Amino acid sequence: MVNSFPDKINALCVFGSVLQLKGHLVPNSQFGRNLPFSDWSTLWVRRYRYMRPVRSFSFSSLLRCVWGSKKKHRDVPIKKTAMGDSANEQVLAPLRASVKEQGDLVRKLKSEGASEIDVKKAVAELKLRKKALDDRELTLSPQVSFDRAKMEDVLKRRFFFDQSFAIYGGITGQFDYGPMGCALKTNLLNHWRSFFVIEENMSEVECSILTPEPVLKASGHVERFADLMVKDVKTGECFRLDHIIKASLEKLAGSKGTAQDVKEKIADILVKLDGMTKEEMSDVLTDFKIKSPLTGNDLTEPIDFNLMFSTQIGPTGLVKGFLRPETAQGIFVNFKRLLEFNQGRLPFAAAQIGNAFRNEISPRSGLLRVREFTLAEIEHFCDPSDKSHPNFDAVAESELMLYSACDQMDGKPAKNVKIGDAVKTGLVNNETLGYYMARIHAYLLNVGIDKERLRFRQHMNQEMAHYACDCWDAEALTSYGWVECVGCADRSAYDLTQHTKATGVRLSAEKKLPEPKTVTVTEAQVNKGIVGKVFKKDAKAVSEALVNASSDVLNTMEDALSTTGSYDLTVDGEVRRITRDMASLKVYEKTMHVEEFTPSVVEPAFGIGRILYALLEHTFAVRESDEQRTYFKIPASVAPLKCAVFPLSSNAEFQPFIRQLASALKVKNVSHKVDDSGGSIGRRYARTDEIAVPYGVTIDFDTVKDSTVTLRERDSMSQVRIPLNEVPAVVQGLSLGETSWPEVQGKYPKFEQQESTKEK
């Protein structure tokens, strides 16, 4: 599959990737920035993009898209939803047509081999039209009444999370989770562990955060995990280069005094900005004499700013290290141990929950773009020639909202598709990828993400690294727009191959051949004594290069040694003269029973902070009766606290019941809070609603008589009367999802009002 990409595709690929295909490396910081609000996705984008030019891929659906053949897609049964149908389509139709027109123009230009700059312009225009369509679509989609300021007030006031070190003035992009945020996050992670690690028998690991430089050199992060920036020469204030050019030129273009030809030049630059090199952008800075917008001071030359936090490991100051920018590399460098732990068999999946760090130039949007964040990643290792999944049938009928790369280019809306059909038609590359997409979908719905505000958006190929053969982001619609919460990518064999190259340790697996096969082995026999004498400290590298040389190289060398007596071998970039006495050739037949191969990796990666934030937005609600009363409809299974206990008053008679209930809840491991603060019951209900407590138990004067209490459900505000000693098991069952509230309502008498509201 990989490496079978036809050459002619070079001329046909869409968007910026055509440049990559031709061998130009597009500065990664410039890419994907116009995608609406998808800040964090740029993490992924970057990860897939700081790599060398695209040489090959095998993404069949995109190929079809590129080639203009979309027949199979038409066969996918589409179930329309609010997003796709409705009268709104009339409004959107011209916008869709405009995107499609431009998409077709891009295809045409490419197929005609148009000039690079013409293609660039057309692509930029396509993006603008796509954005206009997306924005309009958002305004038309079923209105979700949401007041962000109101929610943020609750989150801050009840300390779900807040800025770190605020008493010291705070640091942007860093947040502390308070008791409610921390409990919610813990519950999200525990559910993740149970849903993925335990249910799928994954191997969970926990690797170091401090990572030595060579590891991140091999992964490509040291060289290319960077954004371009400029500094105010006097104050040192930093600006993202593309941001400052865009802002300055837009301001200039909008100014009355600017001549028409300058305005045209600016328009041209803004269109091209996204694909400009560092040098081109530097020229723009000079041409337009762009200064700091804050001080008017001069700016430095553009600087590549690596987004990793660096430090020194150990006291010598000589071992450079970084805080890991992703958790994945820890799994890759442990591949051999994990394969062994799984008794040498594939497929297996490893998982890791942990913090990662990136030194954002300008963090923003609350929890969505931060400098420290928790990832939960899965690396599923499988045979590249067999990406089927044993449990795929169990999820095949799951319907997901898919926003394919083709539909994005054609101005079409996202569609509800059964994942089984999506894999069958090739829209989703393989079963394993499809399986994880369905599981991600199920997990997100379980924890409370709104189905109507969740979609899977396929990466278009300019977003993908050459090694990723398909990539879908689970995006949640928030007040910041569509936000990537989970990335699900087929990373192929890239990472294992890179670490193998860097260390010489073969990170590969073996599989039994259907029948043994005989192969001819060509090996170099090295005379280590002579090699050692001649090359001294480099002898080891030379020996290794000889031992690891391919049979082609060895045969060429043998010819040279036999004829001229010497051969020039390039080792680590230096030419070494090998002579006859240093090496001879051994050629023999060998019967192979197993075949060695580098596994492919399918990687679902969850941004926990983003899921948590989207979940808060999706569950935030205001009581119809009183818009000052807000609550979070967070499912009981992940709600921070499961239960609140309210004594009706501070009457001493209630104390034994509170103690009894509290201790029984502890035995059942049901987290709870006693609110004996003395406000009215209504006010206390409202206060626990704000922190999403799903169940409330009220102890009143009837409790003293008959040991029954009121049990109230948060979302419906309905209540039942229930014996005190049955509460812990019932609330536990509700919290674990083993019982539903209607079941409880069916079993216990309805409670209409507080019988004894006053102290007697």
Total residues at the site for its own copies (CB under 8 A)?
A: 87
Output DSSP code: residue 367.
Answer: G
- Under DSSP, is residue 383 helix (H, G, I), strand (E, B) or coil? coil
198 binds its own copies per the rule CB under 8 A: yes
Q: In the bound complex, what is the minimum distance in angstroms from residue 730's beta carbon to its own copies?
A: 18
Distance CA 44, CA 374 (A): 15
Tell the residue number behind the tokens 């590129």, with chain if given: 66
Asked if 215 and 361 touch (Cβ cutoff 8 Å), the reply is no
Restricted to residues 646-685, the positions that interact with its own copies (CB under 8 A) are: 666, 669, 671-674, 677
- Under DSSP, is residue 180 helix (H, G, I), strand (E, B) or coil? helix
Output DSSP code: residue 364.
Answer: B
Host H or E run for residue 738:
none
Nearer to its own copies, 194 or 757 (CB): 194
Q: In the bound complex, what is the minimum distance in angstroms from residue 48's beta carbon to its own copies?
A: 23
Distance CA 719, CA 695 (A): 10
Nearer to its own copies, 38 or 203 (CB): 203
Distance CA 130, CA 80 (A): 21
Tell the residue number behind the tokens 């278009």, with chain if given: 460
CB atoms near residue 757 (< 10 Å): 12
Nearer to its own copies, 323 or 427 (CB): 323
371 binds its own copies per the rule CB under 8 A: yes
List 337, 528, 593, 623, residue binding its own copies (CB under 8 A): 337
How would you label 249-263 residue by residue, b for 16+ Cβ within 10 Å and e otherwise? beeebeeeeeeeeee
Distance CA 738, CA 732 (A): 8
Q: In the bound complex, what is the minimum distance in angstroms from residue 169's beta carbon to its own copies?
A: 8
Q: Read off the tokens for 152.
A: 């943020």
442 binds its own copies per the rule CB under 8 A: no
Nearer to its own copies, 125 or 360 (CB): 360
List 69, 111, 186, 650, residue binding its own copies (CB under 8 A): 186
List 103, 220, 330, 347, residue binding its own copies (CB under 8 A): 330
- Considering only 138-146, 349-357, 399-407, 585-593, which stretch makes contact with its own copies by CB under 8 A? 349-357
Nearer to its own copies, 372 or 726 (CB): 372
- Considering only 130-138, 176-184, 261-269, 451-459, which stretch makes contact with its own copies by CB under 8 A? 176-184
205 binds its own copies per the rule CB under 8 A: yes
Nearer to its own copies, 11 or 674 (CB): 674
What are the DSSP calls for 87-125, one per residue? THHHHHHHHHHHHHHHHHHHHHHHHTT--HHHHHHHHHH
- Considering only 33-41, 135-143, 187-195, 486-494, which stretch makes contact with its own copies by CB under 8 A? 187-195
Instruction: Judge if the upstream peptide bond of residue 347 is cis by omega within 30 degrees of 0.
Output: yes
Nearer to its own copies, 53 or 293 (CB): 293
Nearer to its own copies, 610 or 673 (CB): 673
List 52, 100, 131, 158, residue binding its own copies (CB under 8 A): 158
537 binds its own copies per the rule CB under 8 A: no
Output DSSP code: residue 528.
Answer: H
175 binds its own copies per the rule CB under 8 A: yes
203 binds its own copies per the rule CB under 8 A: yes
Restricted to residues 226-255, the positions that interact with its own copies (CB under 8 A) are: 229, 231, 236-238
Taking the alpha carbons at both ends of the chain, their separation in whole angstroms is: 81
Angstrom distances, CA of residue 176 to CA of 154, 163, 173, 484: 15, 6, 10, 22
List 257, 314, 573, 746, residue binding its own copies (CB under 8 A): 314
Asked if 567 and 553 touch (Cβ cutoff 8 Å), the reply is no
298 binds its own copies per the rule CB under 8 A: no
Contact track, its own copies, 491-530, x by CB under 8 A: --------x--xx-x-x-----------------------
